[in-house]
Amino acid sequence: MRSYAIGAPRLLNFTDIAEGTRWARDDFHNPLIALGLTK
């Protein structure tokens, strides 16, 4: 799970994992976007 948590923001071109984590935390739809589960 840790690898996925680090890899997902990197796929979205976040170079700072903490920034990517905050982005995912701020809106419920953001993690779904990162996983490709939304249109």
The structure's pTM equals 0.55
Number of alpha carbons in the 13 Å side-chain half-sphere of residue 23: 19
Query: Per-residue pLDDT for the chain (39 aa), expressed as one digit of tens each?
Result: 778 777 878 888 888 988 888 887 787 777 777 777 776
Determine the pLDDT at residue 33.
75
Who contacts 17 (Cβ-Cβ below 8 Å, separation ≥6)?
6, 9, 10
Determine the pLDDT at residue 29.
79
Determine the pLDDT at residue 39.
63
Determine the pLDDT at residue 12.
82
